[in-house]
Chains A and B, each alone.
Chain A
């Protein structure tokens, strides 16, 4: 039972289907299965990296956990002070009081800050709208947060247009931290930044995690970034998880052909051992009309007959290593 208590977030059979509507009467012609039967857990204090190509549904998972979207089915359990909160069931009013526990860091540091508000108003907004008990000294708290994320607190009255992309992302981090959340969903937090700035923000995220005992769901399409920050990594393809394992395990010993293909695409500076170069062909499957069997089979170079007909499920093939592949036990795949 000890392990269970340590889980901050438990997601089970999560689904999000967007209806496709046409015509005046808005007839539903089908569904885009953006997230289809996804289950995972995040332990308190760890970072779970979620990777996949764009459009695979990874951002949708982030939005579902934060209830920016309402799930079609499935459960999302969140542990607050030894009590399980069922996020998927919360009413609007309950949701507003829950918001303090989970916050989001956005991808685009330009679009996510209202250009018409000062830094003080932006970082202070979550505090202001959640101020229910005693009144806190807003300026003082905002300055603390700015110090925490490495911004000069003299810039309190500046507007976002005064800051560079990296500094803006620091403002975004400070805003996410304003309510002392337990979980932070970081949706591609560095992919809009220059590479030199990426490292700074990643280090910042790492440092504040240590200081504040934060839990991260780190969403990214960039495996080298995920490798840098994650404790465990989940790989997603067309609305489903295909592999979930510890960081080292998944990067050295991938068990899903899709993971292997993604890893093969990671650029390496020192090519001590000659790696096999291998490019993933074809396009990502259409989530409104996915292929039969294993969704990955049309692009998989190991695909066999069974892959075209039989759907796959996640299985634990070795300790703490789950894979959804018919051939997981047969193949020996290359990692980094």
Chain B
């Protein structure tokens, strides 16, 4: 009861004049789930983080200060430029970065960058920079932030070719984050069709699909992925490779989805309310679409949410091995592939920053999945 009161209390914010009890009584399943999901703090925070990352991925060209493929040949392996509020002899509200200079350390004979506080470039919002084409619609040179020409802003440093790591990570986010969604969408379609057939119609189709699922589950995924990816012709265009890789990922990803859907179908088909609809004269399709699908959709969403990070990991792994995406496509796996040399990493640790983002995204997806699982059945007592 206290739970209900709690829910009512939280719902109050958007009260529309309905009496509070009624608000709960006429709450749609989606509202109930959202109210329950909101209680999982970590999941909510993760959801915001993911939303933020996807937003950045969508507006990648605008958010990144540079063209991810532009080489700043005088700034190879430049370390991260720090953001300063104290410069030119005082505190400023507008932060700035200091110019980096390059020297050879007289003792170790290694190259070394140092900052020159006297040459501060204030960071500007909506600065002009490299020209780019936004979503193939219009051309502009407006960036979210940047510095006056002459200065540089490498907040995450640069790689061995002098390319800005922040811009590359943002560009990689678009590929790495989208491949999870596209792959899972394909898996879902395959899994829904096969799992649905297996679960609802049963019989010979069920037995064959069940055996297929067993075989697929017994297959070690990575050797198979490697084999399939290696079969992609080197001559294919980057876009074609991108879609081929998503197809390969979903070829194995559907198995888990199909199993979950089949199990739910079998359980729900016997539920009293499904039988009631049947006895009322409802058609098979109406029962599936009006009763069964809404009931297990939330559970399937949980399975899908928890499967997305696996897709992202798989893409990263394949690209890292050199079997997945290849330059000029920039994904997080491709970024890691470019720093395969351990010494390289040890001397330039900012090259490992993509790992941080991969882990952050995977963690966030896991927490969101966890929260969704708790909220998936708002009617459970």
Interface residues of A (CB under 8 A from B): 66, 68, 96-97, 99-100, 103-104, 106, 108, 111-118, 125-126, 129-130, 155, 157-159, 161-162, 172, 175, 178-179
Are A108 and B272 also in contact (CB < 8 A) when A115-B29, A116-B295, A162-B25 are? yes
Chain A residue contacts of B286, Cβ below 8 A: 129
> Does more than half of chain B's interface fall in helix, strand or loop, or is it mixed?
helix
Chain A residue contacts of B360, Cβ below 8 A: none
Chain B residue contacts of A96, Cβ below 8 A: 281, 283
B280 nearest CB neighbor, chain A only: A126
Measured in the bound complex, the distance between the Cα atoms of B282 and A178 in whole Å is 14
Q: B277 near A: Cβ within 8 Å?
A: yes
| 1/0 contact string of B1-32 vs chain A (CB within 8 Å) | 00000000000000000000010111111001
Supplied contacts A104-B275, A104-B276, A157-B26, 10 more A-B pairs, CB within 8 Å:
A68-B275, A108-B272, A112-B272, A125-B282, A130-B280, A130-B281, A161-B32, A161-B379, A162-B24, A175-B280
Contact of A68 among B27, B271, B279, B379 (CB under 8 A): B279
Contact of A99 among B26, B29, B281, B295 (CB under 8 A): B281
A10 CB, nearest partner CB in chain B, Å: 21
Measured in the bound complex, the distance between the Cα atoms of B294 and A158 in whole Å is 17
Chain B residue contacts of A162, Cβ below 8 A: 24-26
A80 CB, nearest partner CB in chain B, Å: 15
Measured in the bound complex, the distance between the Cα atoms of B272 and A114 in whole Å is 9
Question: Quick check: A104 and B281 within 8 Å, CB to CB?
Answer: no
Q: Which residues 255-277 of B sit at the A interface, judged by CB distance below 8 A?
A: 271-273, 275-277
Question: Quick check: A66 and B273 within 8 Å, CB to CB?
Answer: no
B278 nearest CB neighbor, chain A only: A68
B217 CB, nearest partner CB in chain A, Å: 18
Question: Quick check: B25 and A114 within 8 Å, CB to CB?
Answer: no
Chain A residue contacts of B294, Cβ below 8 A: 116
Question: Quick check: B280 and A158 within 8 Å, CB to CB?
Answer: no
Q: B128 near A: Cβ within 8 Å?
A: no
Number of interface residues of B (CB under 8 A): 26
Chain B residue contacts of A118, Cβ below 8 A: 26
A161 nearest CB neighbor, chain B only: B379
CB pairs A–B below 8 angstroms (13 shown): A103-B280, A111-B272, A111-B273, A112-B272, A113-B273, A116-B295, A129-B282, A158-B25, A161-B25, A161-B32, A162-B24, A162-B25, A175-B280
Q: Which residues 74-129 of B sit at the A interface, judged by CB distance below 8 A?
A: none
Measured in the bound complex, the distance between the Cα atoms of B287 and A117 in whole Å is 13
Contact of B272 among A100, A106, A178 (CB under 8 A): A106
Chain B residue contacts of A113, Cβ below 8 A: 273
B270 nearest CB neighbor, chain A only: A111
Measured in the bound complex, the distance between the Cα atoms of B280 and A179 in whole Å is 9
Chain A residue contacts of B32, Cβ below 8 A: 161
Measured in the bound complex, the distance between the Cα atoms of B281 and A66 in whole Å is 11
Output the residue of A116, A126, A130, A161 with the most chain B CB within 10 A.
A116
Measured in the bound complex, the distance between the Cα atoms of B183 and A17 in whole Å is 47
Question: Quick check: A111 and B25 within 8 Å, CB to CB?
Answer: no
Q: B310 near A: Cβ within 8 Å?
A: no
Q: B38 near A: Cβ within 8 Å?
A: no
Q: B71 near A: Cβ within 8 Å?
A: no
A111 nearest CB neighbor, chain B only: B272
Measured in the bound complex, the distance between the Cα atoms of B379 and A192 in whole Å is 18
Question: Quick check: A112 and B26 within 8 Å, CB to CB?
Answer: no
Question: Quick check: A159 and B273 within 8 Å, CB to CB?
Answer: no
Measured in the bound complex, the distance between the Cα atoms of B26 and A60 in whole Å is 36
A147 CB, nearest partner CB in chain B, Å: 19
Q: B337 near A: Cβ within 8 Å?
A: no
A63 nearest CB neighbor, chain B only: B275
B11 CB, nearest partner CB in chain A, Å: 14
A115 nearest CB neighbor, chain B only: B379
Are A175 and B27 also in contact (CB < 8 A) when A111-B271, A161-B379 are? no
Are A99 and B280 also in contact (CB < 8 A) when A116-B295, A162-B25 are? yes
Chain A residue contacts of B29, Cβ below 8 A: 115-116, 159
Chain A residue contacts of B272, Cβ below 8 A: 106, 108, 111-112
Question: Quick check: A112 and B276 within 8 Å, CB to CB?
Answer: yes
B293 nearest CB neighbor, chain A only: A116
B271 CB, nearest partner CB in chain A, Å: 6
Measured in the bound complex, the distance between the Cα atoms of B379 and A162 in whole Å is 11
A236 CB, nearest partner CB in chain B, Å: 21
